[in-house]
């Protein structure tokens, strides 16, 4: 490996790493405020990229049908629940949140498809179409289980991914897409060339990371999310509605997913199921950060991007094995680092009959 190649790989690694940072931040955000390890998060990232690609090809994005399906299920579940609890007057509000708001951008995308959309129009439409996916999934799959253990929530998340990836092939088809680059500029920095695309990705990651930080530090909603992460019962006692903070967290995370997807679209060819692997790599980054700290998550995600970049140079067929296999020594190290600490006491949920 010559120094030039090493630098090139590092640049590549940092660019993908920056995207993993955004994805990992979304994962940690959802985990801390809802205890859900949101496995389908990566899928949402993939759908964002595919949506933009479809719009650029003047096709109707599969996301439209996906959002309509999810919105229909969520609306039925919500309205049925309200009727059973004799709260029929809240039905109009439910229809607004679960039917009108998600369907409006999907309808826009449906109508806009077929026109030659400029980039500045395609990106906001993509963003708006993808945004409702995570909150709708939360309403359908997770809200009924708010008090279940982390493990049950995780199994549900994996099941949701299973169902979602099945639908994705139907809606998006088996072929791969790559979106047009956001910029074709190149810059020379000393002896090396840096692509405008890379700079844009890293800068966006920095900006959105900073916005997230400000949201947590400066806004009441952000503080409510942090309070929920620290102590759920305590947050409830001071009047924080947990299902509202959860919905906020899923909405925010969905926004991060949409941005990540738009950024990664031009970098690599994506298929209907590529998002899952992106999400899992971001998970590896989040796990390096111990799933608790935002700064450690950023470092972890960039390390994964770098590791992947060098691994693919060394042996491109085995790069997935290397990235996921590296989790084992990381966990081993964490396992010994936490040894001798206080014995954690995870109380399991009751009420399951056993032999």
Partner 1 sequence: MKRVRSRLVMLIAIALVAVAPAIFGSFTITLMNYIGIYAMAALGLVLMTGIAGLTSFGQAAFVGIGAYATAWYTVAHGGSPWIGLLLALALTALVATILGVATLRLGGHFLPLSTIAWGIAIYFLFGNTDALGRYSGLSGIPPIAIGPLSFEGTIAVYFFIWAVLGIVMLLCWNLLDSRQGRAIRCLRGGTALVESLAIDSFRIRLAVFVLAALLAGLSGWFYAHIQRYVGPIQFDIDAGIELLLMALVGGAGQIAGAVVGSAIVTLAKNVLQDVLPAITSYSGQFEAVVFGVVFIILLQKARGGVVPIIKKYLPRPEQNVLPIKASPLPRRQRTSAPGQAVLAIEGATKRFGALAAVNKVSFEVKAREVLGLIGPNGAGKSTLLNLITGVLKPNTGTIVFQGADITKLPPRRIAAAGVARTFQHVKLRPNMTLLDNVLLGIYARTRAGFLAGALRLDRAEESAARAEALHQLRRVGLGDRYGDLAGNLPLGQQRLLEVARALAADPTLLVLDEPAAGLRRLEKQTLSDLLRDLRTQGMTIILVEHDMEFVMNLVDRIVVMDFGVKLAEGLPAAIRADGRVQEAYLGGVA
Binding-site ranges for partner 1 (CB under 8 A): 37, 39, 140-141, 144-145, 148, 150-152, 154-156, 158-167, 169-170, 277, 280, 283-284, 287, 291, 317-318, 320-321, 324-325, 327-329, 331-332, 334-336, 338-340, 342-348, 350-355
Q: Which is nearer to partner 1, 189 or 328 (CB)?
A: 328
CA–CA separation, 42 and 46 (whole Å): 6
Strand partners, 192: 189
Spatial distance between the Cα atoms of 33 and 243, rounded to a whole number of angstroms: 10
The smaller minimum CB distance to partner 1, of residues 93 and 334, is found at: 334
- Exposed / middle / buried, residue 130 (Cβ in 10 Å: 0-12, 13-18, 19+): buried
Token readout for 330 is: 């990381």
Identify which of residues 156 and 270 has a Cβ nearer to partner 1 in the complex. Answer: 156
138: exposed, middle or buried (C-beta count within 10 Å: 0-12, 13-18, 19+)? buried
CB of 251 to partner 1, least distance (A): 21
Measured CA to CA, the distance from residue 68 to residue 108 in angstroms comes to: 12
Please say which residue, 165 or 221, places its beta carbon nearer to partner 1: 165
**Smallest distance from the beta carbon of 190 to partner 1, in angstroms?**
37
Give the span between the Cα atoms of 300 and 252, in whole angstroms: 21
User: Are 299 and 292 within 8 A, CB to CB?
Assistant: no
What is the smallest separation between the CB atom of 351 and partner 1, expressed in angstroms?
8
* Least distance in angstroms from the C-beta of 71 to partner 1: 16
List C-alpha distances in Å: 188 to 2, 173, 185, 262, 277.
Answer: 19, 40, 10, 25, 32
In the bound state with partner 1, the residue whose beta carbon lies nearer, of 54 and 224, is 54
Q: Which is nearer to partner 1, 206 or 331 (CB)?
A: 331
Nearer to partner 1, 65 or 215 (CB): 65
CB of 19 to partner 1, least distance (A): 19
Residue 214 CB, nearest approach to partner 1 (Å): 28
Least spacing, CB of residue 24 vs partner 1, in Å: 13
10 Å CB burial of residue 114 (0-12, 13-18, 19+) is exposed
């Amino acid at each position: 490996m010559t120094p030039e190649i090493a630098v090139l790989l590092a640049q590549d690694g940092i660019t993908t790493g920056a995207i993993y940072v955004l994805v990992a931040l979304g994962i940690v955000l959802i985990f801390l405020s809802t205890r859900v390890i949101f496995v389908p998060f990566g899928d949402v990232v993939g759908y964002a990229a595919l949506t933009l690609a479809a719009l650029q090809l003047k096709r109707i994005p599969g996301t439209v049908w996906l959002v309509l399906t999810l919105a229909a299920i969520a609306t039925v579940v919500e309205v049925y629940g309200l009727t059973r609890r004799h709260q029929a007057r809240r039905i109009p509000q439910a229809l607004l949140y679960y039917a009108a708001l998600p369907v409006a951008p999907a309808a826009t995308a449906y109508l806009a498809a077929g026109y030659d959309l400029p980039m500045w129009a395609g990106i906001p439409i993509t963003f708006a179409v993808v945004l409702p996916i995570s909150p709708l999934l939360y309403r359908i799959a997770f809200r009924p289980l708010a008090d279940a253990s982390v493990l049950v929530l995780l199994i549900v998340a994996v099941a949701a991914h299973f169902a979602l990836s099945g639908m994705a092939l139907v809606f998006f088809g088996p072929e791969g897409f790559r979106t047009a680059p956001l910029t074709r500029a190149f810059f020379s920095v000393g002896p090396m060339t840096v692509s405008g695309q890379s700079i844009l990705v890293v800068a966006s990651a920095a900006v959105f990371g900073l916005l997230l930080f400000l949201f947590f530090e400066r806004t009441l909603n952000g503080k409510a999310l942090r309070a929920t992460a620290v102590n759920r019962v305590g947050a409830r006692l001071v009047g924080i509605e947990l299902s509202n903070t959860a919905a906020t967290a899923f909405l925010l995370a969905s926004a991060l997913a949409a941005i990540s997807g738009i950024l990664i679209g031009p970098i690599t060819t994506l298929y209907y199921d590529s998002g899952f692997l992106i999400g899992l790599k971001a998970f590896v980054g989040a796990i390096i950060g111990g799933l608790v700290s935002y700064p450690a998550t950023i470092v972890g995600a960039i390390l994964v991007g770098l590791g992947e970049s060098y691994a693919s140079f060394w042996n491109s067929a085995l790069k997935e094995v290397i990235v996921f296999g590296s989790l084992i020594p990381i966990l081993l190290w964490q396992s010994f680092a936490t040894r001798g600490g206080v014995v954690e006491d995870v109380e399991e949920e009751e009420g399951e009959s056993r032999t």
